Amino acid sequence: MTHSYPSRVSIQTQDFDLNTEIAALRAQDGRIGAVCSFIGTVRDRNSGRTGEVQSMELEHYPGMTEKSIEAMIDAAHQRFDIFGARVIHRVGLLQPLDQIVMVAVTSAHRGESFAACEFLMDYLKTQAP
């Protein structure tokens, strides 16, 4: 599907830089008045004890994962008054404190950005393949 708004999904092994990603999103539309972002990281514990998690390995279904996340970005555009969205999800072997996921959403006002960012992150956490 061709979008009239910017939306991008990356599934990657390499780390990402939030400032670089936000700058790229902001450069796309002069109407942007709000950017909401979320970064998820690997914790060093699962049930409460420090050091319990040494690493974690994340896998995905190439093609299917990107398509599914793009569909959720489409749903966010239909549900919220947003201009753009960027989702990065890392795969492979990750260590505690590594960044796992970034969701960034742009809109004219903060309420729509916050709501869409939470909507997308909830999907990633509970349903993404």
CA-to-CA separations, 121 to 48, 50, 106, 114, in angstroms, rounded: 23, 25, 15, 11
Do residues 39 and 123 touch, judged by C-beta distance below 8 A?
A: no
Domain coordinates of the chain in residue numbers? 7-126
The predicted pLDDT at position 47 comes to 78
Q: What is the pTM of this model?
A: 0.89
Provide block-wise average pLDDT over 10 residues at a time, the chain (129 residues).
62 96 91 97 84 88 92 96 96 97 97 98 88
List, as one string, the DSSP characters of 65-120: HHHHHHHHHHHHHHHS-EEEEEEEEE-EEE-TT-EEEEEEEEESSHHHHHHHHHHH
- 41: helix, coil or strand? strand
The predicted pLDDT at position 3 comes to 45
The predicted pLDDT at position 52 comes to 83
The predicted pLDDT at position 2 comes to 41
Cα dihedral: 36, 98, 6, 66 (round 10): -130
Domain 7-126 classified CATH 3.90.1170.40? yes
